[in-house]
């Protein structure tokens, strides 16, 4: 089985290197092939998603992705900026289902800015549609304003849209995920204002008929943002569109206080996927050897489970991560008095040692 | 001076009654005229925003609004649902600038789900554009999908848009508000994905030239949602579009744990405005006499300050609210051990008594 390794920018290479160590320490052997992406892709081939990188990602059985972005690319034209690579990969590989668990490890309860009783034991799964919505809708651009009080001025515009089949397939993913967990699904919309999301709500309600064992409720996105702060443990699985999911999944991740721990999976219709940590490229700490590699290592575990059919290997990695936390090892982002501060490499080595 | 009083649904009438008591207790006398809105408008005249109500709101110098919405109207067609009243008022009165302070009163620090050190002393101001964006953009609806893999299926769609003048006027409001506070403005966008918000960012950057004394920074909306959870006190003034503002202002309000305390103002180009509590109509507790009237009373204070030019009266009301909190009076939503639980009426009476 072939895995495309796309380290990217900032701390990407350092943290991906740890996940590669872990993969190499498993009994199974995988063919790993590395390619540049993001700013690194631009440096190497003049484009954030070089053709050869996209070809590799398409040919592979799964993609392990680090992170992209650096301030030094901020002045490039938008199509050349690092984050276009991730949008391009999602669209070209058809990765419509983004799974983002927000889990608070008991050992890290203190890291949250929320009170322990509000977040301890938090375990929610946010499922974000990833290839539709206003992210890709056409037409878009800057034009002359066609009507209203600002007629004739320049205006920026974008199109939000969701087709029936697009909503159905992400709803199926969400109901099936809920079946394997607490059997409760919250669909987040803005049906009181947006036609797109009244339609979304209607279709999700229809798909629900096929999953009578799952309890479905609907929540407006503004209320969902409030409830995530007020009582996040009340959620089990949340499903929403690309734009709302972008905002809510980051808010949910931050509730844990340890975004350096959170993996993510982006899947196509056949469970081929791209796996990446939920955090960004953190250029401010790149190269210092202090980044937390655990989100990337846990992303590799998700990859083994969802795309490569190796659930036992995934279990082993997840158990090893829990064990190193129990041993008291902490990178600086999750360090607390009474624990042992370690660097990126040491943390990767500790997971490998625990696996053995 | 004439004030339109629109109590609305749920707890709206009870809480607005307290604010009216407070207004009547001031030295200045105002002409108050009440009209039905929301579900109450639908019951009275078959429409959530009856013509007579809109005419009154237009004729008045300011509007004091309670809250709208009740489950019993959920099955009505969208144009007849209570929340259309608030959208209609905003659009018809040109209320483009929504000011939503998120303040944590020291006495209520315990009410937050966040750790005291993260939120104590919180005082941020969110300025949300209120008459543009995807809330009102045309075209919108359900149509046959014109292209792509879902061609021929039904799709829901909406249009996000911001014209140059629309962005300029809200940017001016935001820079001027920042000048009166900590002189720091964060403009929240999604310029890495949306044409509308790349344009927004460019225009805000241009308006900044007129306010060299204000420090401006730009933040992506997903990051803003995270930073509100991680370190909300780092913000001073936030300005953003209608959709992002809906989500972020509710999240920010919930950080305080006491959304029953938070007022809001929605202003037009001449400082005429609509004033309402940040919370909703809470039909589950309507009529029980336990709703917190302080957000509505504080909204009346904002009205005196921004629309009626009576800053001293506004100061008096705000001081009276602080005094009743210091006296230990609490409605159930903010009650804590060691304080005195009071009802809606008692709380209103206490503010009036303290004013005198
Ligand atoms: C980098 C950006 C385009 C991207 C998004 O908005 O989807 C990121 O925020 C994410 O969530 O993966
Ligand atoms: C009721 C709804 C249309 C409204 C909005 O989305 O603007 C509400 O959430 C608000 O923030 O005032």
User: CB distance A83–B192 less than 8 Å?
Assistant: yes
CA angle B254, B48, B267 (to 5 degrees): 55
Confidence check: pLDDT of B247 > 90: yes
Q: Is B212 annotated in some ligand binding site?
A: no
A86 lines ligand 1 (CB under 6 A): yes
Closest approach atom of ligand 2 to CA B83: 1
Q: What are phi and psi of A281, to 5 degrees?
A: -85, -10
Distance of CA A25 to the CA centre of its chain: 25
User: CB distance B161–A157 less than 8 Å?
Assistant: yes
DSSP output for A282-332 = -GGGTTTT-S--HHHHHHHHHHHHHTS--HHHHHHHHHHHHHHHHTTEE-G
**Paired strand residues for B315:** none
Distance CA B281, CA B292 (A): 11
B222 is catalytic: yes
User: CB distance B192–A141 less than 8 Å?
Assistant: no
Distance CA B26, CA B276 (A): 19
The confidence score (pLDDT) of residue B8 equals: 98
Distance of CA B332 to the CA centre of its chain: 22
pLDDT above 90 covers a percentage of chain A that reads 96
**Paired strand residues for A67:** A8
Q: What are phi and psi of B115, to 5 degrees?
A: -65, 140
> Which residues 104-163 of B have a C-beta within 8 angstroms of A?
113-115, 118, 134-135, 137-138, 140-142, 145, 147-150, 153-163
pLDDT: is A28 or A129 the higher one? A129
Token pair belonging to B305: 């300050």
Any idea where the domains of chain A sit in the sequence?
1-97+261-356, 123-255
Tell me if B344 sits within 8 A of B293, measured CB to CB: yes
Distance CA B245, CA B225 (A): 11
CA angle A207, A219, B69 (to 5 degrees): 120
Mean pLDDT to the nearest integer, A228-240 = 98
Distance CA A261, CA B241 (A): 32
Residue A138: partners with Cβ closer than 8 Å, 6 or more residues away: A159, B147
Please choose, from the candidates A298, A234, A311, A281, the residue with its C-alpha nearest in 3D space to the C-alpha of residue A105.
A298
**Paired strand residues for B3:** B32, B62
Rg (CA), chain B: 20
Token pair belonging to A16: 């991906």
pLDDT digits (tens, 9 = 90+) for A53-97: 999 999 999 999 999 999 999 889 989 999 999 999 999 999 999
Closest approach atom of ligand 1 to CA B220: 9
For ligand 1, atom 4: residue with the closest CA: A83
Candidates B139, B225, B241, B256, partner chain A, best to mutate (most A CBs within 10 A): B225
> Which residues 193-252 of A have a C-beta within 8 angstroms of B?
193-200, 221-223, 225-226, 228-231, 243-244, 246-248, 250-251
User: CB distance B113–A229 less than 8 Å?
Assistant: yes
pLDDT digits (tens, 9 = 90+) for A294-346: 999 999 999 999 999 999 999 999 999 999 999 999 999 999 999 999 999 99
Residues in chain A within 8 Å Cβ distance of B86: none
The confidence score (pLDDT) of residue B305 equals: 96
- Kindly state whether A40 is in contact with chain B, defined as any CB-CB distance less than 8 angstroms: no
Domains A1-97+261-356 and A123-255 share a fold: yes
Candidates A109, A128, A151, A195, partner chain B, best to mutate (most B CBs within 10 A): A195
CATH topology of domain B1-97+263-356: Isopropylmalate Dehydrogenase (3.40.718)
Tell me if A157 sits within 8 A of B164, measured CB to CB: no
User: How are beta strands B31-34 and B62-67 bridged, if at all?
Assistant: unpaired
Classify domain A1-97+261-356 by CATH architecture: 3-Layer(aba) Sandwich (3.40)
Picking from A155, A195, A200, the nearest residue to B163 by CB comes out as A155
The confidence score (pLDDT) of residue A276 equals: 98
DSSP output for B102-119 = EE--GGGGGGSSB-HHHH
The confidence score (pLDDT) of residue B74 equals: 86
Please choose, from the candidates B300, B286, B288, B285, the residue with its C-alpha nearest in 3D space to the C-alpha of residue B6.
B300
Mean pLDDT to the nearest integer, B292-296 = 98
The confidence score (pLDDT) of residue A200 equals: 98
**SS3 for A106?**
helix
DSSP output for B1-16 = -EEEEEEESTTHHHHH
Distance CA A229, CA B114 (A): 8
The confidence score (pLDDT) of residue A109 equals: 87
Confidence check: pLDDT of B356 > 90: no
Confidence of residue B352 (pLDDT cuts 50, 70, 90): very high
Distance of CA B306 to the CA centre of its chain: 14
**Paired strand residues for B263:** B277
The confidence score (pLDDT) of residue A356 equals: 87
B190 is catalytic: yes
User: CB distance A198–B148 less than 8 Å?
Assistant: no
Neighbours of A104 (CB within 10 A): 25
pLDDT: is B27 or B297 the higher one? B297
User: How are beta strands B263-267 and B273-277 bridged, if at all?
Assistant: antiparallel
Q: Which residue of A has its CA nearest to B190?
A: A243
B250 is catalytic: yes
B77–chain A nearest CA distance, Å: 11
DSSP output for A112-164 = SSB-HHHHTT-EEEEEEE-SSGGGT-SS-EEEE--SSTTTTSEEEEEEEEEEH
**SS3 for A274?**
strand
Which mutation among B83, B244, B263 tests ligand 2's pocket best, with the greatest number of atoms within 8 A of CB? B83
B246 is catalytic: yes
CATH topology of domain A123-255: Isopropylmalate Dehydrogenase (3.40.718)
Tell me if A65 sits within 8 A of A97, measured CB to CB: no
Q: What are phi and psi of A165, to 5 degrees?
A: -65, -35
For ligand 2, atom 1: residue with the closest CA: B83
Q: Is B292 annotated in some ligand binding site?
A: yes
B262–chain A nearest CA distance, Å: 14
Tell me if A266 sits within 8 A of A95, measured CB to CB: yes
B192 lines ligand 1 (CB under 6 A): yes
pLDDT digits (tens, 9 = 90+) for A87-137: 999 999 999 999 999 999 989 988 999 999 999 999 999 999 999 999 999
User: How are beta strands A31-34 and A215-220 bridged, if at all?
Assistant: unpaired
**Paired strand residues for A208:** none
Confidence check: pLDDT of B2 > 90: yes
Please choose, from the candidates B292, B239, B331, B246, the residue with its C-alpha nearest in 3D space to the C-alpha of residue B11.
B292
Residue B260: partners with Cβ closer than 8 Å, 6 or more residues away: B277, B279, B291, B292, B294, B295, B331, B333, B334
Annotated binding site for Mg(2+): which residue ranges of A?
222, 246, 250
pLDDT digits (tens, 9 = 90+) for B78-104: 899 999 999 999 999 999 999 999 999
A250 is catalytic: yes
State the catalytic residue, choosing from A61, A123, A158, A246: A246
Confidence check: pLDDT of B109 > 90: no
A231 lines ligand 2 (CB under 6 A): no
Closest approach atom of ligand 2 to CA B249: 11
| B303 CA to centre of ligand 1 in angstroms | 39
Residues in chain B within 8 Å Cβ distance of A231: 113
Distance CA B77, CA A217 (A): 20
As a dihedral over the C-alpha atoms of residue B267, residue B271, residue B274, residue B280, rounded to 10 degrees, the angle is: 40
DSSP output for B131-152 = SSGGGT-SS-EEEE--SSTTTT
Local structure of residue A78 (DSSP, 8 states): G
B314–chain A nearest CA distance, Å: 29
């Amino acid at each position: 089985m072939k895995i495309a390794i796309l380290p990217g920018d900032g701390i990407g290479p350092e943290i991906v290197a740890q996940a590669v160590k872990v993969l190499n320490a498993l009994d199974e052997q995988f063919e790993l092939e590395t390619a540049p992406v993001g700013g690194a892709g631009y440096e190497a081939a003049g484009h954030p998603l070089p053709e050869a990188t996209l070809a590799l990602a398409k040919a592979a059985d799964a993609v392990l992705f680090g992170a992209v972005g650096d301030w030094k690319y901020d002045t490039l034209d938008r199509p050349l900026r690092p984050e276009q690579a991730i949008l391009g990969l999602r669209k070209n590989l058809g990765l419509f289902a983004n799974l983002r668990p927000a889990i608070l490890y008991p050992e890290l309860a203190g890291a949250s800015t929320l009170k322990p009783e509000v977040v301890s034991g938090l375990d929610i799964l946010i499922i974000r549609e990833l290839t539709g919505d206003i992210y890709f809708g056409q037409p878009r651009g800057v034009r002359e304003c066609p009507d209203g009080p600002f007629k004739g001025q320049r205006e920026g515009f974008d199109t939000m849209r969701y087709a029936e089949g697009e909503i159905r397939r992400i709803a199926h993913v969400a109901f099936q995920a809920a079946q394997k967990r607490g059997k409760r699904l919250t669909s987040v919309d803005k049906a009181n204002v947006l036609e797109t999301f009244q339609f979304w709500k209607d279709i999700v309600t229809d798909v629900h008929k096929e999953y009578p064992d799952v309890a479905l409720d609907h929540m407006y996105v503004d209320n969902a943002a409030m409830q995530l702060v007020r009582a996040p443990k009340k959620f089990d699985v949340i499903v929403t569109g690309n734009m709302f999911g972008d905002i809510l999944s980051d808010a949910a991740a931050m509730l844990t206080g340890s975004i350096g721990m959170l993996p993510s999976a982006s899947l196509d219709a056949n469970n081929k996927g791209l796996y990446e940590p939920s955090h960004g490229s953190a250029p401010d700490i790149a190269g210092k050897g202090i980044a937390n590699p655990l989100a990337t290592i846990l992303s590799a575990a998700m990859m083994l489970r969802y795309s490569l059919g190796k659930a036992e290997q995934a279990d082993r990695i997840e158990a090893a991560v829990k064990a190193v936390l129990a041993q008291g090892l902490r990178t600086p982002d999750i360090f607390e008095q009474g624990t042992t501060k370690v660097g990126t490499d040491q943390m990767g080595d500790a997971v490998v040692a625990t696996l053995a």
